[in-house]
Structure 1
Amino acid sequence: MERISVSPRFVGRSSELAALDDTLRRAGAGLPQAVLIGGEAGVGKTRLLEEFQRAALSGGALVSVGGCLEVGAEGLPYAPFASILRRLHRELGVELDRAAEGYESSLARLLPDFGEAPPEAHDAFARARLFEHTARLFERLTVDRTLVLAVEDLHWSDRSTRELLAYLVRTLQGARVVLLATYRSDDLHRRHPVRPYLAELERLRTVQRFELPRLGRAEVARQLAGILHPRVPGEDLVQWVYDRSEGNPFFVEELAASEQQGAGRCLTDSLRDLLLVRVEAMPEETQGILRILAEGGSAVEHRLLAAVAGHPEDELTEILRTAVGANIIQPSADLDGYCYRHALVREAVSDDLMPGERSRINRRYAGVLAERPELVAADQRAARLADYWYHARDAALALPAALEAGLHARRRNAFAEQLRMLVRALDLWDDVPEQVLAGLTGVESTDSTYPRCTCPPGGGHSCGRLRTTDLLAQAAVAAMYSGEHDRGLRFIKKALRIVDETEDPQRAAWFLMQRGRAVRYRSGGTAREDIDRALALVGEGPPTAVLADLLNRLAVEGTLDDARREDLETARRAVEVARAVGARTTELHARLTLGSLHRIFDDHEQADAAFADLIEDAAATGDMELQSRVYINLSHHYEAEGRSARAAEAARAGLELIRLNGMAAYSGTIMLGNLAEALLSLGRLDEAGRLLAEEPFGSGREAHRDFLERLRGDLALMRGDTAHAAEQLEAARALEADWQPQKYLPTALLAVRIACRQGRFGDARSELSAVLDKGLDRGYERHAYPLLFHAAAAEADGYELPGSAQGRPETLQRIRAAAAGLSRQHPLAAPWGSMLAAELARAERSDTATMWLAAAEAVAGLESRGARAMALYRAAERLAVEGQRGPAAAAADEALELAERQGEHGLQQSVRLLLERAGLRTERAAAEPEQLEPGPAAFHLTPRELGVLRLVALGRSNRQIAEELYISPKTASVHVSNILAKLEVTGRGEAAALAHRLRLVGPR
C-alpha cells in the first residue's frame, strides 16, 4: 500500500475558497482586493492558497507566490517580493522587463536581474521611491490580465516587507490585482510586530481578513479517508486522530502517517515528539542532513547544502529523495533548494540539537558561504552570513558580518533590518578581541551633519576607527526611520553617557540635538534645553555642520512655540555657518526657517521672497525631504494669511511631487492635510472629503494623524453632522501629544463651534479660558481671530440662559484684551477685527444692522465666503427687527447663497429659519415651496410645546417641567422629543440655543 500523508481530498474550506474566488472576480472588474489569511500552524493556509492558485490559473490569471524567510528575529528584507519578481521574470521574461522600464534602478534593489542599482542617497525617500515603482510595475502588468500576488508566512516578515505590502494595498487603486498574505496566528504573541500591523490593515475597506478554523470531526474523517485510501478508517481511529489532532489538518496528516508506518498510537503528548517521530524514523544519514538543513534557514539552496554536508552528489541526492518521499521536506522552486514541508518540523529538529552541534553546523555554513558567496542570492548573502556566524558563537567574525549586513540593509532602505543588525553588533561588541575592533572602520552616516572622526592628536586610536558611539548614532537614526522613536531615544541616552564632552564636543552636541528632536517628536516637549547645552559645547568653536544644524533647530523651536525676535538672528546665523562649511541642505533648511519667522513677525514680503527663492534652490539639490518641507511651509504660509487658493495650489504641487517620487509615505500626511484645510476654507467640501477619506501611510502618519482627525471634524461640522464632528474632535485630542499653537488653537476653535451648535455655552467659555490661560502666540491669527469670534458668539447665544450672566463681562473683557494683543499688520486683522467688534456688541445686546453690514464689507475680500455669509445673516436679523424687510430679505438672500457655496450647512439652516420666522420673501425663496408663517408656527409648535420649550430653554429637567405644567414626567418627555424633532436638533442644549437665537421664546 502506498503511504501518503498529504490528503488528496481538499476538505473543510469551501466557504473560504468561494470568498477567494469572489475576490478574483471583483479584481477582474478593476476593483483591487486584499485578503489576510490567518490560522495556527498546520491549519491549512498553504493548502488553501494552492487550491486557489489552481483556480486562478485556470481562469487566466497570472499568479506569483513568495514566502517570508525566518532569519533571526525578523527575516530578510523584501524576501517574498524578490521571490515574486523572480517567478514573474522566469514566466514573463521580456514582458516583465518592458513593464519595469524606467524603474530598473529602484527595482534592482529587489531583483538584481533588473541590473545593478546605481549609487544614490540610501535614505527613507529612496526607499519610498522603491515602493512607488514596485506599485507601478504591478499596475502595468494588470493592464490585460488579473494578477495574484501572495506572500506566505507573514509572521516571519521583516518590517520593510510589511510596509511594502501595506503600501501596495493602499496604492494599487483600479488595478486588477489580488494581494494575499498568510500568517500563523499562534505565533503572534501580544508584542509581535505583525499583530498591530494586521489590525491596521483590516481597517481598510478593500481588505478582508479571516482565520481558518480547525476542522470538525466529520471533516477530519474525510481528510483521514483521503490519506488512507483505499483503506476506510474505523470510527475508533477517526476519534483518536480527532482527539489528538484537535482538528489541526497538519497534525491529522502526521498522526495518519505515524499510524501507517506502524508506530501505532503510542505517541507522547509533547508536540516536539509528535513532530520528530517521523524524522527519527529516517536512516541516520538522512537525519544528519535534516539537522543541517534545519540550521540553514527557512530554505537552503541545493549547492550550499551539498557544500556544507560534504556528501558525494549521488549520495546526497538519494538521502534527500528519502526525506522528500517521506514528506518531511520538499523542493523549493524559488531558491532551487529544499525546505521543510512544515516549519514546525524544522523548529523541532533545530531545538533538538545539542548546543555544540548547532554551533558547529552554523560554522560550516558560514565558512562555506564566506568562501563561495555565489551559492546564495546577492540580496540574502550578507544577512545569512551574519546569522550563521552569530549562531556559530564566533563574536570576532559575527560582529563584522553584522555590520556588513546592516550596511546592505541600509542601502536597500530596509531600516528595521539595519537596526536589528546594529543591535546585534552592539551586543557582540564587548566579546570581540581588541585587535579585531581596531581593524573596524566607521560606518556610513545617515545624517549629513553627524561629525566625522575627531580624534585628538596623539589619541589612543587612529582616525576612521569605528567606535561604540558610531554604532549608537547609526542605531538611533535607523530607529527613527523605522518609527521606533522610543528605542532611538534609548540609544541616544546611552551614547550621551559614553561620549566625552571635553574630548569630543561635536559628537556630544550632535547627540544632544538628536535627543531634543526625539523628545519633541515623541511628546511635543521643548528641545531648547538640549539645544542650548549643545550650543554651549560648540557655539564658540569654528563653524561646523553640527553648529549650523543646531542653530537652525533652535530657530525652528521659535516657529513651533512662542517666536522671539532673536530667533530671526539665530536663523540668519545658521544660514551663514552652513554656507561657510558647505552644508548646502542645512543652509536651505535654515533659509526656510528664516522665511517662516519673517511671516510670523509680519515681514510678509521678505517671507514671500524667501519662499520663492527656495523652491528653485531646493529643486536643484534633488533633496526630496527639503523640497517637501518647502511646499509644506509654503502652503501653510499662504493659508495663514488667508490666501487659500494659493495654499491649495502649493499643497497640490507638493503632493504631486512627493507622490511622483514615492515620498507620500513620509510627508504625504501633512501635505494632504494642508491641501484639505485650504479646500475647506474655499468651500470645496467634496474634494476635501475625498482627500480626508484616504488612509495615510508611513512613519509620518501617526505624527500628524491628529491633524487629519481635526480636519474631518471641521468637515463634519460644515456638513451639519455635529455628532460626528464631536467624535472627530475627541479622536484628535486623544492623539494630540503636545501643546503647540498650530495644534491646540484650531482644535479649540472646533471645540467652541461644536459647543455653540449643541448649546453648551459654558463649555465654550471653558475652552476659550484654557487657550487664553496659555496665551495667543504670534503668527496664529488665522485661527485666533475666529476662535475669539465664536467664543463671543457663545456668550451672545447664551444670553438668556440661567446663570449665563455670571462671568460674561469678564469673558468679554478677556476676548477684547486678547484681540488687542494680536498683530495689527496681519492681513486678517482688519476684516476679522470688524467681525469680532460686531459680535462682542451682540453679546452685550448693542449690535446694529449697520455694524454687521460694515463687517460684511470688511470681509468681502476674503477668499473664504463663510465670514461674509455670517455677517450678512446677522445683518438680516437686525434689519428684520428694525422693520426693514426689503434690505433684510436681500441680506438674507446673499447670506444663503454664500453659505451654500461655502458648504456651511448649519448657517444655511439658520438663514432659512430666519426667512421662515420673519416671513421674508426673496428671489431664492420664491422658487421654493410656500414658507410658513413667522414665529413658533413656522416649526408647527403647539402652544403646549412652546411652553415646554420655554422651560427647556431655562434649563429645566423633565421632572421639573412636569411639576410646573401639572403633567406627568412621561408626557413631558414626549413633548421634549417632539420639540427636538420639529426643530431638527439633536439635544436639549441645541434646542435651547436655537430658541434663544431665533427668539422663539422670550423672558417670562
Structure 2
Amino acid sequence: MLHDVETRSVSPVFVGRAGELTALTDALARAHAGEPQALLVGGEAGVGKTRLIEEFVDAACDDGAFVALGGCVEIGADGLPFAPFSTALRSLSRRLPGELAAAAEGQEGELARLLPELGDVGNHDASNEESTARLFELTVRLLERLAADRTIVLVLEDLHWADASTRHLLAYLFRTLRRGRIVVVATYRADDIHRRHPLRPLLAELDRLRTIRRIELSRFTRAEVRRQLTGILAAEPDAALVDEIFDRSDGNAFFVEELVVSRETGCAPGSLTDSLRDLLLVRVEALPEDAQRVARIVAEGGSTVEYALLAAVARFSEDDLIEALRAAVGANILLAVPDGDGYRFRHSLVREAVSDDLLPGERSRLNRRYAEALEADPSLVRADERATRLATYWYHAHAPAQALPAVLRASVETRKRYAYAEQLRLLERAMELWDEAPAEVRDSLRPMDYAEAYPPCGCDPETTPLRYLDLLAEAAYAARLCGERERALKTGKMALRLLEGEDDTDRDPLRAAWFWTERSRLVSGLGRSDGWAEIATAQELVKGLPPSGVHARILVVAAGWGMLHQPGPESLAAAERAVEYTRLVKNEGMELSARLTLGTLQVSAGDREAGLATMYEVRDRTRALGLHHESARAHINLSHVLENLGRSQEAVDVAEEGIRLTRDHGLLDSQGWVRANQAESQLSLGLWDEAQRNCEWLEQSGTRSKPRGSATLRLAQLAIARGELDVAESRLAAAREHFGEADPMPQYTVPTKQVELSIAAAAGRIQDVRALLTAAAESGFPPGTHREGWPLLLAAATAEADALGLPAAAEGREESIALLRRCVRGLATPAPVWVAYSQHTSAELDRAEGRRPVERWAETVAAYEQVERPYPLALARHRLADALLAEGGRREEAAALLREAHAVAVRLGAHPLREDVELLAARARLSLTTPDSAPEPGPGDDAFGLTPREQDVLRLVAAGRTNRQIAEELFISPKTASVHVSNILAKLGVSGRGEAAALAHRLRLLEPTPQGV
C-alpha cells in the first residue's frame, strides 16, 4: 500500500506554469531559427522548478533538440569546479561523439579541464593570467560550433550551489554567446539567495543584460493546489482537504505532495510539527530501517553517490543493499541517476533534512568511511572528482592528518583546471588545518608538489618541507587570478608581517620580494597607486643576492613598469638588465618577455629597425614555443609601435593576426588590448566604421578597464570628428572612469588631454583650449607619445586660427602661439606622417597670425599624400583651397581640392569638415559635384545673400559691437540695426551673435569675395 501511495505522490497532471512553459518553448523556437537564448528560472525550494524543466525538456526532445543536463552539487562549495558544465558536456559527448570531437579539435588539452574524456590536460602556465578567460572562450566556441547545425538545450540546475568558477563561466557564456542554435537555461533556489550569497552579484549582473530572460515561479493558488491534489489522488478532493493542504503548504508544490502522502499513509496530523524539517523527515522515518540507513549514508556522500562507493560505505550484502535502495526509490525518497550508476535524493530539501538530523559523531564517522573507501579504491568515482571529494570527506571526518595533504592535492587539481576561486577556498581550508595537523605530516609535504606560485630558491626541493608561507603565496596568487584582489592583498599583507617578525637567521628576503612584487600588481589593479614603491622595495630586498628566478621576475616587472610609465633611457637600461638576468637564470619564457619590453623601448628611443626586429623575433619564437600569452603581448606591442611610426596598415594587419591568435586560444584580455590598438590604426586609415565596431565590441565584451577606456576614448575622438560633442563629452567622462587617477600612464593621460582640448576647440572655448595646452606642455610629451601630442597641438593651433579677430580671444593670443611654436620645435617627428602633422600645425599657426601662404599648405597636402591619413589630408586640402581662393584665381584647382575633401568628409561622416567645405564652395560659387561652370562672383556679391549694408553690420557684430553701437556708427536707428542682425543670423543659419562672428572669421566673409583673375 505504501508503494502505491508513494508512487502517486507526484501528480501525473502538469499543473499551472502555462506562461512559464510558453516562454521556454518560445525560446526554443527562436533558437531553432539561429538566435541563441538564455533564461534564468528561479523560485523557492519545492515550488516546481524541476517539474517545469522536465516538461520543457520533454517538449525539446520531441522537437528534435539535443538536451544536455548539468546540476550543481553542494560539494562544489568545497572546490569541485565546473561540475554542471562537465556533466552537460559529458552528456553531449555520449550523444554526439564525432561532432564534439570535431568542435574541440586542436584545443583538446585545454577543454579537457572541463571534460577529461577529451584527453590529457594541456600544460599549466602559472604565469598566465588569462588562462581562465581562455578556457571560458574555448568553451563558448565549442558550444557555438556544436549548435551550428543542430539545436542544443543546455540546462544547468541548482545555481545556488554553484562554485565560483561555474558562476564565472556562466556569466561569460551569457555575455558572449552570439550565434548558434542554443538555449541555455539555469535554475536556482531563490529562497537560498540571502544578502551575502555569492550568486546574488551574478544575478544582479545578469539582470542588466537584455539578452537574458528571468522566469520567477510563484507558489500555487488554491485552485492549482486543488488540481494537483486531483492528479495525485486520481479523484476530486473534497473542499476541506483542499483547504487543509493549501493552508499548511502555502501553495508549495513539494509540500503539497508530502502532506498528502503523510495523510494517506495514516500519519496523524498531530504527529507532524509545524517545522519544515519534521515534515520532510516523516516519510524517511516511515521507511524500513535498512532503507533509512542507506538514506543517511547517501545524504552525507554528496548530491549524487555512485553505487559502488555506496556499497563500500554501507557494508551491506548486495541483496540487502538492493532491497534498501528499492524501498527508498519506491517511496520517492531516492532516485536513480539517469546518466550514471548512482543515486540521489529526489528533492534536495529532504537530503538537507536527513543530513542535518545526523548526530555529530555519526556524520564524521560516515565521512571517514567514505574517505577510507575512496582511498582503498580510487576508481569508485570519476578521476576529475576524486581529489576534491576525498579532501571533502577527510575534512568533514575531522581528521587533520589525512585532510591536510588531501586538501592540498585537491588544490593542485583545481589549479590545473584554472579554477582559481576553488583553489583559493581549498588553500584557506589547508591554512585552517595547518596547526591541527601533526608536525610529521607537515614535514612530509614538499613545496615542489604543492607550491607553484613561489618557486623554491636556494634550497633542496627534495628535503625542504612545505611552509605556511608557501600556502600564503599560493593563496595570494590564486586570489589575484580569480579576481579577489582584496583577499590577495590581505593575504600578502599577512605574509609580509610574518616575514618581518622572523629572526634574522630565518629571514627570507627573496620571498618578501616576491610578495612585494605581487603587491605592486594588486595596488595598481585596484587603483590604489601606480605600484612603483612596491617594486622598488622588492628590488632593494634582492640586491646583492645570488641569481634567482624571483630576482629575474622582479627585473622583468620593473622594466615593464618603466615601459608603460616612464619610457626613456633609464627604462631602456632596466630592460637590458632584465634580458641579461633572465638568460643567466635560463628562463626563456621570462627572457622573451624582457626582450619584448626591450624592443618596444628601443623603438621609442629611435632605434626603430633593431627594436622592430627584436619584437618580431619574440613574436615568432613565442609562437613556436606555444607561449600564447606572450605571443599575444607581442602582437599588442607591435601594433602599438607600428602606429607610433605611422605604419598604420601594417599595424592593422598585425592586430588582425593577434585577434585571430587570442580568439583561437581564448585570450579575451589580450584580445581587448589588440582590438583597442587596431581601432586606433583604423581611425588613422579612415576606416571609421570598422574602428567603431571594434570599440563597441570592447565596451560590451572587454574585461580590463584600460583597453575599454582606450576604446571609449577612440569613440570620443570619432564623435568630435563627426560633430557630436555631447557624445564626445560623455565618452570622455567614461574613459576617465576606466583609467582612474591612481596609476597615470602617458599612453592614456596624453590622449585624454588631447580629446578634452579638441572638445573645447570644437565648442569654441578658446580660453579653455589655452589652459589645457599649458597643462599638457607642463607635463611634457614622453617618448612614444608624439602620436597623441601632434593631434593635440594641431587642435590647439587650429582653434587659435579660427579665433583670429574675435575680441574675446585677443587676450593671451601671443603667449599661446609662442607656447605652441615651442612645443612644435620640441616634439619628435620619427616618421613621415608626423612630419606632415608638424607642417600642418605650423601652417595653422601661420593662419592664426593672419598669414595664408599657399606654399605652406601645398607642402602639407603633398606630405599627407605620401602617408595613409585621409582625414587630415582632407582638412589640408580644404585649407589649401581656401588659400588659393584668397590669392585670387586658380578656381579650378581650388574646386578640385574641395571636391576631394568633400568626398572624404561625406564618406567618413565628418559633418564639421563637410559643412566647412560646402560653405567655402558656396561662398566662392564652386560646384562640389561637377567641374566648375558657375560664373565668377562679381564685386560685392555674397554667397549667403548678404546685402552690402548687412555686410557692414556683420563686420561690427564680429567686432563685438552692441545694436546701439552699430546704430551710432552706421547712422541708423537701433531698431533698424536689430532687424539687420536678425536677418544676418537667419541667412547664415546660426543661432547667436558669437556664432555669426566665428563663422564670418572662419569663412572670411568680412574680406573681399575671392574672384578669378
TM-score, normalised relative to structure 1: 0.87
Deviations 1:868-888 (Å, cap 9, x if unpaired)? Answer: 211222333444455555444
Alignment map for 1:434-833 (pairs within 5 Å) = 434-443=439-448, 450-455=454-459, 463-499=463-499, 503-523=507-527, 525-660=529-664, 662-694=665-697, 700-737=703-740, 738-797=743-802, 803-825=808-830, 827-833=832-838
Change (3 A) 1:764 1:124: same
Q: Which residue of structure 2 lines up, in the alignment, with residue 225 of structure 1?
A: 230
CA contact (8 A) 1:451 1:507 kept: no
Q: Which residue of structure 2 lines up, in the alignment, with residue 289 of structure 1?
A: 294
* Cα distance in 2 for residues equivalent to 1:404 and 1:875: 73
| CA RMSD, Structure 1 to Structure 2 (Å) | 4.0
Secondary structure of the 1:431 match is: coil
Q: Which residue of structure 2 lines up, in the alignment, with residue 9 of structure 1?
A: 13
* Cα distance in 2 for residues equivalent to 1:997 and 1:344: 77
Q: 2:355 aligns with which of 327, 350, 353?
A: 350
Q: Which residue of structure 1 lines up, in the alignment, with residue 199 of structure 2?
A: 194
Q: Which residue of structure 2 lines up, in the alignment, with residue 870 of structure 1?
A: 875
CA contact (8 A) 1:632 1:651 kept: yes
Q: Does 1:424 align with 2:424?
A: no
CA contact (8 A) 1:781 1:828 kept: no
Identity between Structure 1 and Structure 2 (%): 47
Q: Which residue of structure 1 lines up, in the alignment, with residue 912 of structure 2?
A: 906
* Cα distance in 2 for residues equivalent to 1:992 and 1:491: 64
* Cα distance in 2 for residues equivalent to 1:225 and 1:980: 82
* Cα distance in 1 for residues equivalent to 2:512 and 2:686: 50
* Cα distance in 1 for residues equivalent to 2:352 and 2:987: 66
Secondary structure of the 1:694 match is: helix
Deviations 1:667-706 (Å, cap 9, x if unpaired)? Answer: 1111121122211221112322333333689895345322
Name the amino acid aligned to 1:638: L
Q: Is the deviation greater in 360-369 or in 125-134? A: 125-134
CA contact (8 A) 2:134 2:667 kept: no
Residue 382 of structure 1 and its aligned partner are, at CA, apart by 0.8
* Cα distance in 1 for residues equivalent to 2:190 and 2:384: 28
Secondary structure of the 1:704 match is: helix
CA contact (8 A) 1:758 1:990 kept: no
Name the amino acid aligned to 2:397: A
Q: Does 1:44 align with 2:51?
A: no
Secondary structure of the 1:906 match is: helix
Residue 902 of structure 1 and its aligned partner are, at CA, apart by 4.6
Residue 229 of structure 1 and its aligned partner are, at CA, apart by 3.2
Q: Which residue of structure 1 lines up, in the alignment, with residue 416 of structure 2?
A: 411
Q: Which residue of structure 1 lines up, in the alignment, with residue 407 of structure 2?
A: 402
Residue 537 of structure 1 and its aligned partner are, at CA, apart by 2.6
Name the amino acid aligned to 1:414: A
Change (3 A) 1:142 1:793: same
Q: 1:175 aligns with which of 174, 180, 199?
A: 180
Q: Which residue of structure 1 lines up, in the alignment, with residue 322 of structure 2?
A: 317
Name the amino acid aligned to 2:540: A
* Cα distance in 2 for residues equivalent to 1:188 and 1:966: 73
Secondary structure of the 1:859 match is: helix
Unaligned runs of 5+ residues in structure 2 are: 964-972, 977-981, 1008-1013
Change (3 A) 1:524 1:748: farther
Change (3 A) 1:407 1:357: same
Secondary structure of the 2:77 match is: coil
* Cα distance in 1 for residues equivalent to 2:645 and 2:961: 41
* Cα distance in 1 for residues equivalent to 2:96 and 2:928: 69
Change (3 A) 1:782 1:230: same
Alignment map for 1:110-121 (pairs within 5 Å) = 110-117=114-121, 121=125
Change (3 A) 1:619 1:113: closer
CA contact (8 A) 2:43 2:217 kept: yes
Secondary structure of the 2:74 match is: coil
* Cα distance in 2 for residues equivalent to 1:827 and 1:741: 23
Q: Is the deviation greater in 828-837 or in 669-678? A: 828-837
* Cα distance in 2 for residues equivalent to 1:586 and 1:508: 20
Deviations 1:648-682 (Å, cap 9, x if unpaired)? Answer: 0111111112222x233231111121122211221
Secondary structure of the 1:893 match is: helix
Q: Which residue of structure 2 lines up, in the alignment, with residue 970 of structure 1?
A: none
Alignment map for 1:328-343 (pairs within 5 Å) = 328-343=333-348
* Cα distance in 2 for residues equivalent to 1:25 and 1:266: 49
Residue 378 of structure 1 and its aligned partner are, at CA, apart by 0.9
Q: Is the deviation greater in 380-389 or in 392-401? A: 392-401
CA contact (8 A) 2:412 2:450 kept: no
Q: Which residue of structure 2 lines up, in the alignment, with residue 162 of structure 1?
A: 167
CA contact (8 A) 1:152 1:183 kept: yes
Change (3 A) 1:431 1:999: farther
CA contact (8 A) 1:418 1:478 kept: yes
* Cα distance in 2 for residues equivalent to 1:829 and 1:311: 84
Alignment map for 1:234-245 (pairs within 5 Å) = 234=239, 237-239=241-243, 241-245=245-249
* Cα distance in 2 for residues equivalent to 1:990 and 1:752: 19
Residue 205 of structure 1 and its aligned partner are, at CA, apart by 5.4
Q: Which residue of structure 1 lines up, in the alignment, with residue 152 of structure 2?
A: 147
Residue 441 of structure 1 and its aligned partner are, at CA, apart by 0.8
TM-score, normalised relative to structure 2: 0.87
* Cα distance in 2 for residues equivalent to 1:952 and 1:522: 53
Q: Does 1:859 align with 2:859?
A: no
CA contact (8 A) 1:259 1:265 kept: no
* Cα distance in 1 for residues equivalent to 2:745 and 2:452: 26
Q: Is the deviation greater in 88-97 or in 683-692? A: 88-97
Q: Which residue of structure 2 lines up, in the alignment, with residue 889 of structure 1?
A: 895
Q: 2:389 aligns with which of 384, 390, 395?
A: 384
Secondary structure of the 1:693 match is: helix
Change (3 A) 1:700 1:920: same
Deviations 1:945-991 (Å, cap 9, x if unpaired)? Answer: x99x97999999xxxxxxx9999xxxxxxx99x989966x9x99989
CA contact (8 A) 1:453 1:463 kept: no
Name the amino acid aligned to 2:72: C
Change (3 A) 1:568 1:91: closer
Name the amino acid aligned to 1:907: L
Q: Does 1:374 align with 2:379?
A: yes
Residue 469 of structure 1 and its aligned partner are, at CA, apart by 1.8
Alignment map for 1:59-78 (pairs within 5 Å) = 59-71=63-75, 73=77, 76-78=80-82
Deviations 1:217-259 (Å, cap 9, x if unpaired)? Answer: 443443343334313251x554555555444433444444445
Change (3 A) 1:112 1:551: closer
CA contact (8 A) 1:521 1:703 kept: no
CA contact (8 A) 1:68 1:153 kept: yes
Unaligned runs of 5+ residues in structure 1 are: 957-963, 968-974
* Cα distance in 1 for residues equivalent to 2:486 and 2:1000: 52
Secondary structure of the 1:148 match is: strand
* Cα distance in 1 for residues equivalent to 2:802 and 2:766: 8
* Cα distance in 1 for residues equivalent to 2:960 and 2:17: 61
Q: Which residue of structure 1 lines up, in the alignment, with residue 840 of structure 2?
A: 835
Residue 747 of structure 1 and its aligned partner are, at CA, apart by 2.5
Alignment map for 1:244-255 (pairs within 5 Å) = 244-255=248-259
CA contact (8 A) 1:899 1:908 kept: yes
Number of matched residues?
Answer: 973
Secondary structure of the 1:558 match is: helix
Change (3 A) 1:536 1:990: farther
